[in-house]
Amino acid sequence: MNHDRIDTAIPVLGDAKIPSPIQRERQGEIPSCFISDSESVLIDVDLNRLKSQLEQNQTPSAFERAGPRQKIYFDPSKLKCAIVTCGGLCPGLNDIIRAIVLELYHGYGVHNIFGIRHGLQGFIPAYGHDIMELNPEAVVSIHEMGGTVLGSSRGPQPVEDIVDCIERMNIRLLFMIGGDGTLMAATRIGNTIDERNLKIGVIGIPKTIDNDIYLVSRSFGFDTAVDQATQAIISAHNEAKGYPNGISLIKLMGRYSGFIAATATLAQQDVNFTLIPEVDFDLEGPGGFLEALSERMDRRKHAVIVVAEGAGQKFFKAPAREKEVDISGNIKLDDIGLFLKDVITAYFAANHLEVSIKLIDPSYMIRSLPANANDQVFCSFLGRDAVHAGMAGKTKMIIGHWNGSFVHVPMTASAGKRNRVDPYGKLWLSVLEATGQGALKNPTYE
């Protein structure tokens, strides 16, 4: 991954000239709480590469640091804002909504805040979705609930119609909470706004339970997902040990990236095999998965397997380019959980060993849960920093977390790209050590 050529400049709507109403008073004094646009966070912190860049008179790439600015662009008394949640459910959505509303209302004095219902459909008149007026009373306890109080939807909507609606409502600041598809839609909305010469800010808050947003080291909901996946592994381990030749197979989220599966494996080290989309494996043969599983059963009489939903897609007949796509344009994955259950059952039956295999899929339960404490705190930072950025007149950007800091990331740098587990990185190598599963690949001979 080459971070040296990333354009990290954040578009702005105009000069920020209005003094910020935010005050942080302590014992009668106002401490320095504002962030300057010149404050930055290095993208690549490898010392050797930094030294090499400096020796070549190259400026290392860096993100703007997130936080409140001393001067803002919008007049809070006249500003109308909108919030929309899109795509699949994820723990923390309500926490993000709540943080945005509370910061707008109490921090900046913005009292015209609207929730757009059911994702981008809410902008399209034909669907007839009402808007939701948002204020502190409306969001006082929503963080205790899972899902999103605004509702969501999948699938594209006409960008021109969306911007028409934003204009009609006189919205000047739009907060879009969603995954990669939403961020690409937000980019197109922002571009259309620019083409119309409108002064409307578009701020994204990246949402993906899979933790696979490019240039975002952690996404909200991931901590909760790992927490709950760990509980599923504990139950699966008890199931496997409770029956003769017991096998528990847990299918977790992760269409293209196996961060949940890998991290949950390390959190609860009762897992014997972890399969993720980034790492190829063979089923049959002396080095394959089935042979390794058979050896495990001979030794310990039980096994726990964790598989990410996007793993092993090569075992299905239709190649990815020929598979159907869903309403959001995502390739419809074949069910690797059911496939492995059938293959494992048939393999041991052929070898005259009766196994008791359980397939556990906690995915939808995890997606719709309230966020845990760590994610709640993380969501509060994301929501408030999104407001700070929007009020300062920044646009077509997302709030990200990078090298321990909250930062501004241009949508163009992140949208359409994906963060994936490095097969040679510390996370996956630690999984291999914890499971002892080996490469699960047959030897090749030149």
Q: What stretch of H or E contains 364?
A: helix 363-367
Q: Which of 95, 210, 212, 385 is catalytic?
A: 210
Q: Kindly tell me if the per-residue pLDDT of 29 is higher than 90.
A: no
Cβ pair 443, 288 in contact under 8 A: no
Burial of residue 36 (number of CB atoms within 10 Å: 0-12, 13-18, 19+) = exposed
pLDDT at 118: 97
Could you confirm whether 210 is annotated as catalytic? Answer: yes
Helix (H, G, I), strand (E, B) or coil at 112: strand
Q: Which CATH class is domain 18-219+371-414?
A: alpha beta
Domains 18-219+371-414 and 223-368+424-435 share a fold: yes
Burial of residue 44 (number of CB atoms within 10 Å: 0-12, 13-18, 19+) = middle
pLDDT at 1: 45
The letter for the amino acid at 407 is V
Q: Kindly tell me if the per-residue pLDDT of 192 is higher than 60.
A: yes
**What kind of architecture, by CATH, is found in domain 223-368+424-435?**
3-Layer(aba) Sandwich (3.40)
What is the chain's Cα-based Rg? Answer: 24
pLDDT at 317: 77
Mean pLDDT of the 62-75 span: 96
Percentage with pLDDT > 90 across the chain: 82
* pLDDT tier for residue 5 given thresholds of 50, 70 and 90: low
* pLDDT tier for residue 445 given thresholds of 50, 70 and 90: low
Question: Rounded distance, CA 281 to CA 439, Å?
Answer: 7
Mean pLDDT of the 6-13 span: 94
Q: Kindly tell me if the per-residue pLDDT of 2 is higher than 50.
A: no
pLDDT in tens, 87-128: 999 999 999 999 999 999 999 999 999 999 999 999 999 999
Output the pTM of the full model.
0.92
pLDDT at 417: 85
Average of per-residue pLDDT values in the chain: 92
* pLDDT tier for residue 195 given thresholds of 50, 70 and 90: very high
Q: Kindly tell me if the per-residue pLDDT of 352 is higher than 60.
A: yes
pLDDT at 53: 75
Domain boundaries, the chain: 18-219+371-414, 223-368+424-435
pLDDT in tens, 283-292: 999 999 999 9
pLDDT in tens, 271-310: 999 999 999 999 999 999 999 999 999 999 999 999 999 9
Mean pLDDT of the 36-50 span: 88
